[in-house]
Amino acid sequence: MLKFVYDRKIDDFFVPNCYPIKDNFYDDISSYIKETGKEPIVHPLFRDLQNEKFLIDDVEKDFIYPVEQFGAIDKLIGEEKEYKEYCFLNHIRKSSLDKIKNNNGRIVVLSFEESRIELHSIIFLHKKLDEYNIDKIYYITGNNWSTYDNYKSWCENKGLEIKVVMINSNEQLYLKGQDLYKNHGTFVNADELDNKREKRFLCFNRRIRPHRYAMIAMFHHNNLLKNNLVSYSLERGKDLNHLGQNGPDLHTMTTIMGKTILRDSYMSYYNELVELSPMTIDYENLTNIMGPGHENKEPYSKTYFSIVTETPFPERNYFSSEKIFRPMIQYHPFIVYGSPFTLKSLRELGFKTFSPFIDESYDETISPFRRMQKITKEIKRLCSMSDTEMHKWFLSMKDILIYNRNLMYKYGKKYEESQMKIFKDINDELS
């Protein structure tokens, strides 16, 4: 039996472990922020996966001590200076910490939907565990295929034992599959695949980071913005514009575009793009659209392919989010503007990608500058096709689209089973 243990309860409610307020719990996050002046580092999350919960005082061994991460890892571990005193390790009860140090149970950080984890944060956490004499913890993340390998190399080079075991849950994959499996939204039907479409591509952009601005500027430069389905907002005050006050920063744009005249042109479009903003596709209020749910088949049924602007692009931290799985539940081929080896990661999960119908050499291109060039060239090539050529091109991938959609359904059906297996594997190591 899996035993999830907590330091304390309020009535029948198990307070999240490492919660820094000792005598209260604020379910309302704004109340917590008002009380502490900080964002929460933990919150009751993923409770449906915790079938047997106990107070740690009632369990001697073979337990999982869940830390339900809320927000970014650097706050949880106290790496961000303002959150130093809020480091979760500072708020484990001493008697609980003694049981953990004696290897009677394991700390398991639950961060299923977060994949942005930098190597420096894992190293910082490793050193913190040294301070607390903790041999090992488990860190469950979404899908990051670079940080753990880099961390293992760091440990090997220094002759150290691994203290942070990172496990990819692929939570975003299963949740998007569950949208399809449980009909959370509307979805393109197989009998609609032969229909001709009005536009070439679809490109959703909610939070505008510098690399997404570069892609939107590329559309504008090549007259592809208005005649395709592209969403973005450069409005201020809505947590959507993550650029500087005067537009994208020069350093990031140089990383993506090089020291080129084209870079300068793209940056000069900022005011024009502000005037065109917001551009919306299916939902007027982009602030409320995020993560699982919010599936609407209409934009997909009107376009032939998706350009997925993932969360990372120029970073050396390689990961993906739920965005890459959205086209597959809507029978859409796609180009991914994200980390290197994203397509490789998808193939390892059993999906098929679209070579030779799409030149996918960009996926193995490490340089953001070269990757941007290759992606731009391929988008322009596809958009230069005639209506007849585009429709024929799309239908040539029909078998791949059906295969990927069916696999997404299977993943959605296995969501809870897959996540519970992670805990069972950890538990098996303990017992």
Contact 65, 108 (CB under 8 A): yes
CATH class of 175-413: alpha beta
Sequence-ordered list of residues with C-beta below 8 angstroms from that of 374, at least 6 positions apart, any chain: 359, 361, 362, 365
Cα distance between residue 205 and residue 212, in whole Å: 7
Residue 363: helix, strand or coil by DSSP?
A: helix
Residue 431 has pLDDT above 80, yes or no: no
Domain ranges of the chain: 4-169, 175-413
User: Where are any strands of DSSP class E within 98-188?
Assistant: 105-110, 137-141, 164-168
pLDDT digits (tens, 9 = 90+) for 143-169: 999 999 999 999 999 999 999 999 999
Bridge partner residues of 334 (DSSP):
306
Contact 115, 319 (CB under 8 A): yes
Burial of 357 (0-12, 13-18, 19+ CB in 10 A): middle
Contact 335, 303 (CB under 8 A): no
Q: Determine the angle formed by the axes of helices 171-181 and 415-430, rounding to 10 degrees.
A: 140
Cα distance between residue 375 and residue 229, in whole Å: 18
Residue 428: helix, strand or coil by DSSP?
A: helix
pLDDT digits (tens, 9 = 90+) for 177-195: 999 999 999 999 999 999 9
Lowest mean pLDDT among 30-44, 90-104, 280-294, 363-377: 280-294
The torsion region of residue 391 among left (phi > 0), alpha (psi -120 to 50) and beta comes to alpha
Residue 286 has pLDDT above 60, yes or no: no
Report the mean per-residue pLDDT for the chain.
93
Cα distance between residue 286 and residue 292, in whole Å: 14
CA angle, corner 170, sides to 165 and 176, nearest 5? 160
Residue 294 has pLDDT above 80, yes or no: no
Give the mean model confidence (pLDDT) for residues 131-154: 97
What percentage of residues in the chain have a pLDDT greater than 90? Answer: 86
Cα distance between residue 197 and residue 393, in whole Å: 12
Residue 289 has pLDDT above 60, yes or no: no
Sequence-ordered list of residues with C-beta below 8 angstroms from that of 259, at least 6 positions apart, any chain: none
Contact 117, 69 (CB under 8 A): no
Closest residue by Cα to residue 5 from 55, 49, 62, 60? 55
Which one is predicted more confidently, 168 or 239? 168
| H or E element in which residue 32 lies | helix 29-36
Give the mean model confidence (pLDDT) for residues 232-241: 70
Residue 240 has pLDDT above 70, yes or no: no
Q: What is the pTM of this model?
A: 0.92
User: Where are any strands of DSSP class E within 98-158?
Assistant: 105-110, 137-141
Residue 293 has pLDDT above 80, yes or no: no
Residue 290 has pLDDT above 80, yes or no: no
Give the mean model confidence (pLDDT) for residues 55-67: 96
| Half-sphere exposure in the Cβ direction for 215 (13 Å, CA) | 30
Sequence-ordered list of residues with C-beta below 8 angstroms from that of 398, at least 6 positions apart, any chain: 193
Sheet with 229-230: strands ordered across: 229-230, 201-203, 305-309, 334-337
Closest residue by Cα to residue 318 from 336, 300, 296? 336
